[in-house]
Chains A and B, each alone.
Chain A
């Protein structure tokens, strides 16, 4: 193999035993569990297969269901031939619009409800997009259900869909009330000496969590238990009650572990009430597995965007005017949008600012949350544009960002609660070796490898939601936390354990945390990076009350036995509610009603964001044009870090996804039919281990006592933000080709 071939070396990892020893030593040294890099408390359950995911729960004598999805992109069902399907052994029932199950539709989540879309699929014979759920087969076995589904013939009256954002036949809806303006953009842009005006495109993305979608419904009398992967068990419970027309008290939604959510399990899937209604109809538990292919269209996704950025600067690099507008695809019926321009225009100082948003209604499923929903696509546009103007200005892209850093939100004129962007660039740059950067295009090439470096700013609003918790402490020093929040694989079990241990002065081994059950006190939706800040803030209230009632001192070496002796009981329990200061007084009521109330980011008298800096190296082979990212460093400042280990994993996970966002992920829609033609994980690509050889995430210390009592900013989403731009900027540095559409693929670099 040639000398200049790139090689990937595995980083040696510490064995677990040594690592745990180091960790407990660190914990002892700090005398403080919060912040300690302890291993996941649920790790042993996961690696021994004892952690039960939604589909793992056994129910007595279940039937199995299989979805049937549409094979046209628009039209209506004119007939169903189910003769052969009903002959298949073990088939119990076949449902469709023709023999509607008795269930209604909860309100669309973006309109204050819980459902993934505003309509119920069996309510009508209409087909609204390719891959829509149009039938449900229930049989004695999974294979029987699938075989019967394949035998089922739907007859259609088909129309040509407008399935992609630039199709004729889409409906454009301008959203002027979402626009932000400050100063006179047109004049400022006109007068500025240096400017760029560029358009950017991002692709549709599908969550493709490792854990497939699934639902099990089990009725005992009029009590229903539903096992379903969920980032919002309380919302699912309330939405289901509405759809099934039953009392919410009779529904329990159970999901203690989630095998990857990424936003895809945040709103109530259309099939959940179908499964519950089918189970009620047939008098037996019903289990559904949604196949990988079906998961592409029967749940939500990240929609494609088209963006335009106009950015102007003085000769010294001071930004003078910034305009960021976006078109976002949504379904015909639902007006879902992410409007990330609202965040991009708060990143740098500028006197004149303008944003615009247009939703584009097409014949596709309703989009939904996906990790950093607003920031992921829109920071590709902004941070590419900043790189472009750095080139125009002949300025170092890090220096330019630091020059335009601001401690005042440029839109609202209020201060940031904290903002450590400069420090992120300093520490990230030092670790990455940015001082060795040479700006000339191609100046860092080696042999047949074109090498480029790129940077970008990462950010995410610091958001919170009301939260309630119940904590029980007994005389043996064992504590139990109960809250209907979620661990979507991010480490919530672990950091909440640490928070309780720290607040009550007991070892983490003595704390048990129960999550993911709608019977528990309502917690937070696992979205918006709100979980840790909100849950810990509520935990602090409950624990403070317990300490007060028992006469304990925070942080002191308390004699628990004596305290309980004085208290006169062997156990104590506290229920606490926490409302963010920016929320209405009785906001916890919204939790009980199954509504999402997220506050934070830009608020009336402050703006709260976490910040980060991303440094990427790309290597492009000059013959094969393969684009690889051998090295990436992220440095993030996000207030108090509860657990350095799980935090780092979160950051790295986001960065890995950023590589996929930049170079791999795209759902390829055939505009003729609206079908997703790469609806499998063989052709819908995400990075594999060999694509992420050398990545580092740096935790930049930051104290922010204004954001919330916990001092915690969310970290679940910031890791992906800006990564795509840093890679595109690096590709430009390596090749001189500015690519404004992601994913960037090798054909973008092949010269004919």
Chain B
């Protein structure tokens, strides 16, 4: 790790003034929250910020609800949110996505502000040696033609196929959340779906955030039908593994008929992915396995497989189907939460 300056300002204002703009390829300073991505990449010398601005003294660590709107502070940890009754009972897709991610140790320190900005696990980005347009713009993409089993099939470009590796964002995207940010020039609000940008010709640019822009929180409405939501994550082992394909689904049902469906995908795309065409297809349909599989097929229309990851297209289709069927099967008549976490999070 390269030596860096460290500061821990006491207010959001002070923090956004203190941070040194990051610029591309990690030349500037960075905000530090849980550090589970940042410190890791600094140890690998993939990121070498000269200064870290720790947000630990900024508060921003509560989950509140008022006037039907939920507000999550950016420093709320994954563990805290995964157990919060608002999510467990009224949006199980969110709590599922959180406890099915990482390990208890990581969830205890990783924050939701940082989590949505989690960097890719693409091994060619992390090795600090291979050509990688995300790490070293213009150098090429070694993942194409390489070991790319874990990489993306949706939203890729000829310059980058790195997967967005997180889980929470794939569920958050269902609820039309707003991201609240601050810079030293003031605050702004961003639709969550607009936060991440496709790699296209500039994979080094992952979000629309400015260099000195700090996520302070999220807010969104939780409709009653969000109780009928799930997060299905297919992975190589039962815990502590990245998604090979995951699907977040929320259904508004009228008997067996789908009034409205929301569908987010993970482990398969370069950014948190909302499958709007599949949502439209589902509207008004009767729940069945065939319908669910067709929605999955539509969700992966246009997907492009590479040497070792073409399986993600049929896998993703079936994961979507399972998520739709699981959501439809949820019994919401009794206890407020029937999704639960009985499988154990560890």
The chain A residues found within 8 Å of chain B, CB to CB, are 1-2, 5-8, 10, 71, 143, 146-147, 150, 448, 621, 623-626, 628, 663-664, 668-670, 672-673, 675, 677-678, 682-683, 685, 687-691, 745-747, 750-752
Contacts and interface: CB of A to CB of B under 8 A. Distances in A.
Interface of B: 1-3, 45, 121, 123-124, 127, 129-130, 142, 145-147, 149-150, 232, 234-242, 244-245, 310-311, 313-315, 318-319, 321-322, 325-326, 329, 338-340, 342-344, 346
B2 A147 contact: yes
Nearest to A628: B238
Nearest 4 A/B pairs, CB to CB: A747-B311, A623-B322, A690-B238, A624-B234
Contacts of A683: 121, 123, 150, 242
Contact of A5 (B123, B244, B315, B343): B343
Contacts of B241: 685
Contacts of B146: 670, 672, 677
Nearest to A10: B344
Contacts of A669: 147
A589 B147 CA distance: 49
Contacts of B121: 682-683
Contacts of B149: 668, 747
B127 A675 contact: yes
Contact of B319 (A146, A623, A687, A691): A623
B322 A664 contact: no
B343 A8 contact: yes
Given A1-B339, A672-B146, 4 more contacts: A626-B236, A670-B142, A670-B146, A691-B238
B105 to A, nearest CB: 12
Contacts of B2: 147, 150
B238 A677 contact: no
B238 A746 contact: no
Most buried by A among B1, B124, B236, B238: B238
Q: Is the interface of A mostly helix, strand, loop or mixed?
A: loop
Most buried by B among A146, A628, A663, A670: A670
Contacts of A689: 239, 346
A690 B318 contact: no
29 contacts: A1-B326, A1-B342, A2-B329, A7-B343, A71-B129, A147-B1, A147-B2, A150-B45, A623-B232, A623-B318, A623-B325, A624-B234, A624-B318, A624-B319, A626-B235, A626-B238, A664-B237, A672-B142, A672-B145, A675-B127, A688-B238, A688-B240, A690-B237, A690-B344, A690-B346, A745-B236, A747-B149, A747-B315, A750-B318
B4 to A, nearest CB: 11
Given A147-B1, A682-B121, A683-B121, A688 B237 contact: yes
A752 B314 CA distance: 5
A339 B247 CA distance: 45
B239 A664 contact: no
Contact of B234 (A448, A626, A663, A751): A626
Given A7-B343, A670-B147, A683-B150, A623 B321 contact: yes
Nearest to A71: B129
A718 to B, nearest CB: 24
A728 to B, nearest CB: 16
Given A683-B121, A745-B236, A625 B315 contact: yes
Nearest to B319: A624
Contacts of A626: 234-236, 238
Contact of B338 (A1, A448, A746): A1
A147 B319 contact: no
A544 B99 CA distance: 59
Contact of B123 (A624, A677, A746): A677
